[in-house]
Structure 1
Amino acid sequence: MKKVALVSLISIFIAITVLSGCSSNNTSENTSKVENTATNDASTNQTKTNDTAVTNETTTEQGVPEKYDPPIEMTTVGVNYPTVKFSEGESRTDNVWTRAYLDKFGIKLNYKWVVDDTQLEQKTNLMLSTGEIPDFMNVTDIQFKQLYDAGLIEDLTDVYEKYASESVKRMMTAGGPIAMDSAKFNGRLMGIPYTMSNKEVADVIFIRQDWMDKLGLPAPKSMQDVLAISEAFTTKDPDGNGKADTFGLAADKGMTMLNGFINGYHAYRDLWIKDSTGNLVYSDIQPEMRAALQALQGMYKSKQLDQEFSVKEFAKVSESLAASKVGILYYPPYGGSYPLQSVRDNNPSSDWTAYPLPSIDSTPAAPQVGASTNGYWVVKKGYEHPEAILKIMDFWIKTFYENKSREVMEKYVTTPDGNTPWLLSAIFSYEGFFNVDVQQDIKAVIEGSKKFDDINPIAQDTYTKVMNFVERKDEKFWGFDEVYGLHGARAITKEVYLANNLFTENQFYSTATQTMGVKMATLQKMRDVAFTKIITGAPIEEFDQFVESWNKSGGEQITKEVNDWYKSK
């Protein structure tokens, strides 16, 4: 499994943990952005109902009983999570989720093994090598292909069409068609995608509003405006300390914090995109990337970038932000909580505003987004009840996403004392725009078009935190207002990106081609070295040399293989 887990399972906190702060790993890359939150019980207006409400909403599928009688048995494998606290007598096989599967659906779930996240991939690969797999499990794209080639997994095409609930079908397609397309071999659905909320973490641009106000700078409407703001933040002493110690733009060693800037030039990092002829080309070798690098080179030369950015990981850049040394940050919308809450903590007079990505020309910028899946849920070939996986998936969606009962939330999802029973669900999949919807619900309550009681408990708790800042001026909740408030950063995703379909996705979503598997890592390292050299002062012609070397060193063959796959699709 592709680390099914801590990166991706914790990512689901993007959906629920909107509630006590945000954290991230050391990169701004969209495929691994994490919001770390925990529900509070500040809201007291939610009417309690028992958890049978969740059961009553579950679809009874034609030809399959609501509850198997006698119960059926299913096996799977799983991961241990340190944030889960078991009550006395409970275990991974006996907990609120497994009891619900048995009581509500007649599904007795057993785990063949459970390991720590660090051991997961090795343990799974060892199991696959024996050919003995559980009745269902989550696998990476590579493992998915291996299992398909070995004939070990069930064709779910007809099962899905006949038995998947509307909730499941809606989740599988909420982010677009790529997730479902990627789960097919020769037109047959061989797994259920583990969907990701990749689009709702598309980058926005955060800018120090207090610095803009001090220097009399207007809101950015173009990349030219961003460049002017960056120059002013570097040269006009926005912090007023009389020293030339501020930088315009945040940048990190891996250059992932520059993705949004590069996207403003219609350039993208590490994606396969369509060219004007309809073929797929590698984004990093396109002319638009040359222009973006040349702009960054000029910014570096004029010290608008930290002169040591090429050796600084995300954590070090965050320290510069917290110390009020940087004024522009390209980051996902949750950046208003992390890392920008730390700026506010250290300097209460600081303020930031989020904007959509500005463009270099009249064509709107379309931010790049990460993978739409984190693997696939597969069923063992020959298992008698493959439709049961869809019942478990439907229960997950209704309990985690569609539930409006605080009692259900605290039983299955997250508790006031910080326990996280949602991690005990046997199946996960992420709603494409859940956090965006939370922000829109909060906006509706503030504007009066919705009542507090009409939004779900997660949105209620987040609303309460926003109001803790807006009405009670509690500074520790500033970040919640920045992300989820009336003009929160998440509104940009809904009102600009989603409304205009401004997302750039990787058009290659298969397993690695033969040459890609052998040479891509070397080519990516070549790219990173070349890009860093160019930004820090090498002649821009080195980009042309990099493109030539990339093609000769395997890139040209990889491009052919990618397009062969694309045409076959």
Structure 2
Amino acid sequence: MKRSILTALLLGLIGSVLLAACSNNNSPSNETGKASPTGTNPASETASSGASETAPADLPAKFDPPVEMSYVSYQFATLKYDKGDDVNNNVWTRMLKDEYGIIANNLWEVPYAQYLQKTDLMIASGDIPDFFVASPTQLRQLYDADMIEDLTDIYANYAPELVRKVQDAAGDYPRKAATIDGKLMGIPFTGVLRESVNGLWVRMDWVKKLGLPEPKTFEDFIALADAFANQDPDGNNKKDTIGLGLDKDLAMTAPFMNTMHAYKSIWTKDADGKLVYSSTLPAMKEALMKLNEMYEKGILDREFVVKDPTKLFEDVTANKVGMFYSAGTAGAYPLQGSKDNDPNVEWKMFPLPAYDDKPGKFQTELDVFHGFWVVKKGAKNPEALLRILEQWLAKFYFNNSDEAHKQFVSGADNDTIWMESPAKMYMPTRNRDFYLLVNEVLAGKTDQSTVPPGVRDILGMIEKYKAGDNQFWGQNLIYGEGGSMGVADYYINNNLYVQNEFITAPLQIMVDRGTNLTKLELDAFTKIITGNQPIDSFDKFVTDWKKQGGDEITEAINEWYTANQ
């Protein structure tokens, strides 16, 4: 993966991976929605220096005397510091100190996988820093222990324009989740789930070879999956290709179910406005029956019950899979590997094929990355956190300056500079917006000199691909004409989402019963798909789910829902 492409793709990759990871539990995502601006150049709305033009009058231009704010953080394995720099002395911390009078003091930094455990221990000790990212469960714990500031007035009086813009783009759910007893107790670390829709990736060279139509309808989709599995599309005279790839935890069955208007493991509204568990509804039985039919016909991988997503992606890279579900950024991974292994492969991403006269809606979780920025009770100048967030947004997203981009985002020798900022929040549709701008330039509608540096980076890669450099094939597949981000644009523009309505930390009854119920669901669904149990066993699953705690959970969740409307 070349320099700069990490900054163009990582956020979308995070969103898609985490969505799959959280699809089988009843709690909101612990990591990473978006009714957001469409088609405009975000950088055109701010000064070329990367700073916002206006901010609430009461937010100091520079804190004098300087305010020191302690924090803790995680890091990704790719993070690197320039020579002589470290977590407390880098281009971001120096800028915040020199220009805004904010001294960010990092107490500890751990790999991302260790962050939740480390912060759990920290909270249990009662000694927390001035600000940090708290998970939904931690937010509730901190509130109950009276350890964090009420940010309602802080946000209302001090939130800069750019922070408000991104929070508004993320929609109502993240801030609802951050609000307890009518008080805003955290600033949502907004994520990228709505542009990370898991569309249908299809081997188009196999489609052309077999003379079949693109998958616009459900019947088209089934015919393609059957042909990919049973008509030797790779021409090796062996029955060794997979029609539709799945994983053992059934996370990748969710988009298939969404096609049929069924939703997996989330809480949705019924006709009376009450919350019901989607996996127990009649539409799920129909979706499982169809998956069983596909399994019996050999369309599904017979070995999916032992394959995690990484193993499935190995099959994709080995060019044994005809279709699979993933986010638009799959053009970079795993599909670049597919192209590297066979220069003749062609892939294309499609929206969910139409099952009937209603388009399939994509199920989505609470769109926060890990959780919420919280401020320690009694911390001096809690509004300083908002200035840090504003400057992150100004320099990472709302910037047309090449100099600022190289300094704060992606330099010649370091494409991870952006990770060094003490606080961040993600623009919900960054990759989709870049796709629109790339295609405006390619169509001659926008001058390349007017778009953000990150867009120019992508245009440069697409130009190299068109000149014959296949290492940039994946970037063209994502952002180029007809690219996968166009599918995200379709879903965003038409608001084709079904939101998990349960957006708070797991209730105690969910903690007590959730593990067993999750296992019950996975076992029942796997056995139905593979034919080890008849389709009517779904009715027994629903009965067992209710008896083993489902009814109690449903009652508790509806009590929460009623109290928080």
TM-score (norm 1): 0.90
Match of 1:69 in 2: 64
The answer to whether 1:288 aligns with 2:283 is yes
Aligned to 1:45: none
Residue 526 of structure 1 corresponds to 520
The residue type equivalent to 1:514 in the other structure is: Q
Between 368-377 and 557-566, the greater mean CA deviation after superposition: 368-377
Assess, with a 3 A threshold, how the Cα gap between structure 1 residues 24 and 351 changes in structure 2: closer, same or farther.
Answer: farther
For structure 1, which segment, 102-111 or 21-30, has the greater mean C-alpha deviation from structure 2 after superposition?
21-30
Aligned match of 1:434 in 425, 430, 433? 430
State whether residues 170 and 428 of structure 2, in contact with CA within 8 Å, keep that contact through their aligned partners in structure 1: yes
Query: Alpha-carbon deviations, 1:308-347, whole Å to 9, x = none?
Result: 1100122222222223222111111111221122222222
Specify the alignment match of 2:387 in structure 1. 391
- Aligned in 2, Cα 1:228/1:27: closer, same or farther, shift over 3 Å? farther
- Secondary structure at the counterpart of residue 50 of structure 2: helix
Distance 1:58 1:104, change over 3 A: farther
In the alignment, what sits opposite 2:37? none
Q: Which residue of 2 aligns with 1:350?
A: 345
Task: Indicate the residue corresponding to 1:163 in structure 2.
Answer: 158
Specify the alignment match of 2:373 in structure 1. Answer: 377
Contact residue 190 and residue 378 of structure 1 kept, 8 A: yes
Shift of the alpha carbon at 1:424?
1.4
Query: Is 2:199 the counterpart of 1:204?
Result: yes
* 1:145 pairs with 2:140: yes
Q: Report the CA distance shift for 1:563/1:26 in structure 2 as closer, same or farther (over 3 A).
A: closer
Write the distance in 1 (CA, Å) between the matches of 2:187 and 2:13.
29
Q: Distance in 2 between matches of 1:468 and 1:21?
A: 23
* Paired letter, 1:153: I
The aligned counterpart of 1:48 is: none
- The aligned amino acid for 2:463 is M
| Native 8 Å contact 2:150 2:184 kept in 1 | yes
Q: SS in structure 1 opposite 2:364?
A: coil
Matched, 1:536 2:530: yes
Structure 1 residue 16 corresponds to structure 2 residue 16: no
3-state SS in 1 of match to 2:9: coil
Deviation (angstroms), 1:458 = 0.8
Q: Does 1:501 align with 2:495?
A: yes
Alignment pair present for 1:455 and 2:451 = yes
Aligned to 1:236: 231
SS of corresponding position for 1:144: helix
Distance 1:226 1:100, change over 3 A: same
Structure 1 segment 272-351 matched on structure 2, within 5 A = 272-351=267-346
Q: Distance in 2 between matches of 1:286 and 1:530?
A: 14
The 8 Å contact of residues 192 and 376 in structure 1, kept in 2 or not, is answered as yes
Relative to structure 1, the CA distance from residue 110 to residue 486 in structure 2 (aligned partners, 3 Å threshold; closer, same or farther) is: same
1:21–1:338 contact (8 Å) kept in structure 2: no
CA shift for structure 1 position 78: 2.0
Amino acid at match of 2:528: I
Q: Is 1:422 matched up with 2:413?
A: no
Q: Is the 8 A contact 1:202 1:332 kept in 2?
A: yes
Task: Spell out the pairing of 1:357-368 with structure 2 (5 A cutoff).
Answer: 357-368=352-363
Paired AA for residue 368 in structure 1? Q
CA distance in 2, matches of 1:86, 1:306: 44
Cα pair distance change 1:177/1:145, threshold 3 Å: same
Residue 473 to residue 332, structure 1, CA distance change in 2 (3 Å): same
Residues in 2 aligned to 1:350 and 1:202: alpha-carbon distance in whole angstroms:
23
Query: Is structure 2 residue 93 aligned with structure 1 residue 102?
Result: no
User: Does structure 1 conserve the Cα–Cα contact (< 8 Å) formed by 2:12 and 2:196?
Assistant: no
**Structure 1 equivalent of residue 33 of structure 2:** none
Q: Secondary structure at the match of 1:499?
A: helix
Q: Look up the equivalent residue of 1:506 and give its one-letter code.
A: N
RMSD: 2.3
Aligned partner letter, 2:119: T
Q: CA deviation at 1:69?
A: 1.3
What is the rounded CA distance, in whole Å, between the counterparts of 2:165 and 2:15 in structure 1? 28
In 2, the alpha carbon distance for the partners of 1:361 and 1:404 equals 44
3-state secondary structure, aligned to 2:49: helix
SS at match of 2:104: strand
Task: Give distance in 1, aligned partners of 2:379 and 2:18.
Answer: 41
Give the AA of the match of 1:296. Answer: L
The residue matched to 1:381 in structure 2 has which SS? coil
Classify the secondary structure of the residue corresponding to 1:416.
coil
The answer (yes or no) to whether the contact 1:74–1:135 under 8 Å persists in 2 is: yes
Residue 254 of structure 1: how far off its partner (Å): 1.6
Cα separation, 2, equivalents of 1:395 and 1:379: 18
Q: 1:332 to 1:514 in 2, by over 3 A?
A: same
The answer to whether the Cα contact below 8 Å between 1:18 and 1:462 also exists between their aligned partners in 2 is: no
My pick for the range that moved more, 555-564 or 471-480, is 471-480
CA separation in 2, counterparts of 1:250 and 1:497? 23
Relative to structure 1, the CA distance from residue 297 to residue 432 in structure 2 (aligned partners, 3 Å threshold; closer, same or farther) is: same
Deviation of 1:499 after TM superposition, in Å, equals 1.4
CA contact (8 A) 2:93 2:103 kept: yes
In the other structure, the counterpart of 2:398 is 402
Structure-1 residue corresponding to 2:87: 92
* Residues 1:486 and 1:247: Cα distance change in structure 2 (over 3 Å): same
Residue of structure 2 equivalent to 1:38: none
Q: Which residue of 2 aligns with 1:482?
A: 477
Q: State the distance in 1 between where 2:277 and 2:294 align.
A: 25
Shift of 1:528: 0.7
Conservation of the 8 A alpha-carbon contact between 2:6 and 2:415: no
1:412 aligns with 2:408: yes
SS of 1:254's partner is coil
Matched, 1:172 2:163: no
> SS of the residue aligned with 1:422?
helix
Whether the 8 Å contact between 1:26 and 1:313 is mirrored in structure 2 is no
Q: TM-score, normalised by structure 2?
A: 0.90
Contact kept in structure 1, 2:248 and 2:306, CA below 8 Å: yes
2-side partners of 1:345 and 1:86: how far apart?
A: 31
Structure 1 window deviating more from structure 2 (508-517 vs 61-70): it is: 61-70
* 1:21–1:337 Cα contact (<8 Å) kept: no
Query: Corresponding residue for 2:20?
Result: 29
Deviates more, 1:256-265 or 1:195-204: 256-265
Q: Are the equivalent residues in 2 in contact too, given 1:73–1:108 (CA < 8 A)?
A: yes
Match of 1:3 in 2: none
- Cα gap change, 1:362 to 1:68, in 2 (>3 Å): same
Q: Does 1:443 align with 2:439?
A: yes
- Structure 1: 5+ residue stretches without partners: 1-12, 34-50
1:419 Cα deviation (Å)?
A: 4.3
Offset from partner CA, 1:29-50 (integer Å, 9 cap, x none): 17699xxxxxxxxxxxxxxxxx
Gaps of 5+ in 2: 24-28, 30-46
- Secondary structure class of the residue paired with 2:229: helix
Asked if 2 retains the 8 angstrom alpha-carbon contact of 1:413 and 1:421, the reply is: yes
Aligned equivalents of 2:17 and 2:59: distance in 1?
Answer: 46
